[in-house]
Structure 1
Amino acid sequence: MKKGLVLATIFALCSTMMVSAKEFNDARWQWFYSNSDYTGKVDLNTLSYDPETDTAKAWAVWVRTTGIQDLISYKIHFSNNSLDLFDRNTYVNGSDAIKRNQNFNGQNHVAAPGMGDEALIASVKGLIGRDAKLADYKKQQADESQARAEAKAQQEKAQQEARIAQQKEAERKAKHERNRSIIRGIFGI
């Protein structure tokens, strides 16, 4: 009897605690936006940033109150506050099966102020440390540019010094030859 009660309790706990893989509730999913129609979460494990292009890549899920979940791949352009959409997988709550898959092939749109896309951009910007990474990148680029300019100036200076040394050597040889000619003329050699 006790074993049956324990097993029934364990079974009840397991079935209520089981969460589908598409529930998007584990630690890798960071909440960033909610309204009366949907909640947005970003996948912390897929975030990446490229300071050269000032873009980030991220996956986000939109959990709708209608029982639908849209998992979407984004490329975020911080310079103009826009997003490129790529893959979109639609799930029904509680199911691991993809109901529909769409590929938007990088379709771009500007984030609407005060809406979920704008919140996604702001959240990703903070999570990846975009401002600090971009500032570091720009500083590195400026330092490299300065180093190239200094190296070029040093090279030009060395070339100028070499030209001056060659010119002085040529003048010295010409003066020496002139003096020899004068001495030959005087002594008739």
Structure 2
Amino acid sequence: MKKGLVLATIFALCSTMMVSAKEFNDARWQWFYSNANYTGKVDLNTLSYDPSTDTATAWAVWVRTNGHQDLMSYIIYFKDNSMDVGQYYIYQDGSDAAIVQDDFNGQNHVAAPGSGDEALIASVKGLVGRDTKLADYKKQQADEAQARAEEKAQLEQAQQEARIVQQKEAERKAKHERNRSIIKGIFGI
């Protein structure tokens, strides 16, 4: 009897774990857009920004009113307000198993004004601190360029000074040789 109760409890626990639906309501998912057909949420744990390319990577889910949840990866190009869609998974409400899993292979498109894509770009821009990080990166690049220019100028100045020293030494030697020749000529040596 006890054995049957333990087995029934284990079976019930396993069943509940398998039936749990794919949920995108955790604290890691932040809302950024809604309309009559879907709601967009961005995954805060997957956000990253690269100021050298002015791009961000993100995962977002589109919870649709038709019962599907579309989970997609993005590379966002802030320079031209465009994005590449990478991997995507489509889930049916109430299921942890993706009914579709594919890759768009980086199909790029410009976000339409007022669209969910535009809202995603704006949300990610703020969440990754793009403007501040880009300004810091540009300042760092300018400072490094200035330091390189100053270093180059110092090197050129040192080379010029070395050339002047060499020229003066050559002139001194030439003058010495000329004086020596004159003395040899006078004394017949």
User: TM range, normalised to the smaller chain?
Assistant: 0.7 to 0.9
* 1:143-167 Cα shifts (integer Å, max 9, x gaps): 1111111111111111111111000
Partner Cα separation in structure 2 for residue 101 and residue 177 of structure 1: 88
1:34-45 residue pairs with structure 2 within 5 A?
34-45=34-45
SS in 1 for 2:22: helix
Match of 2:159 in 1: 159
Q: CA deviation at 1:94?
A: 1.8
- Gap runs ≥5 in structure 2: 1-15
2:28–2:43 contact (8 Å) kept in structure 1: yes
2:169 matched to 1:176? no
- Structure 2 distance, partners of 1:186, 1:80, is 84
Runs of 5+ unmatched residues, structure 1? 1-14
1:94-133 equivalences under 5 Å are: 94-133=94-133
Identity within the alignment, %: 79
Most deviating of 25-34 and 144-153: 144-153
Aligned to 2:77: 77
Deviations 1:123-150, CA, capped at 9 Å, x for gaps? 0000000011111111111111111111
The answer as to whether partners of 2:21 and 2:93 remain within 8 angstroms in 1 is no
After TM superposition, the score normalised by the length of structure 2 is: 0.87
Give, in whole Å, the separation in 2 of the partners of 1:65 and 1:188. Answer: 113
Q: How far apart, in 2, do the equivalents of 1:21 and 1:42 lie?
A: 18
Q: CA deviation at 1:20?
A: 4.2
Q: Match for 1:152: what amino acid?
A: K
Contact 2:74–2:83 (CA under 8 A) maintained in structure 1: yes
- Whole-angstrom distance in 2 between the partners of 1:140 and 1:20: 49
Query: In structure 1, what is the Cα distance between the partners aligned to 2:140 and 2:21?
Result: 42
Deviation at 1:177, TM superposition (A): 1.3
Q: Please give the alpha-carbon distance, in whole angstroms, between the structure 1 residues aligned to 2:153 and 2:21.
A: 60
The alignment's C-alpha RMSD in Å is 1.5
| Number of aligned residue pairs | 172
C-alpha displacement at 1:186, in angstroms? 2.3
Aligned pair in 2 of structure 1 residues 152, 21: CA closer, same or farther (>3 Å)?
farther
Per-residue deviation, 1:188: 2.7
Mark the CA change 1:188 to 1:28 in structure 2 (over 3 Å): closer, same or farther: same
TM-score normalised by L of structure 1: 0.87
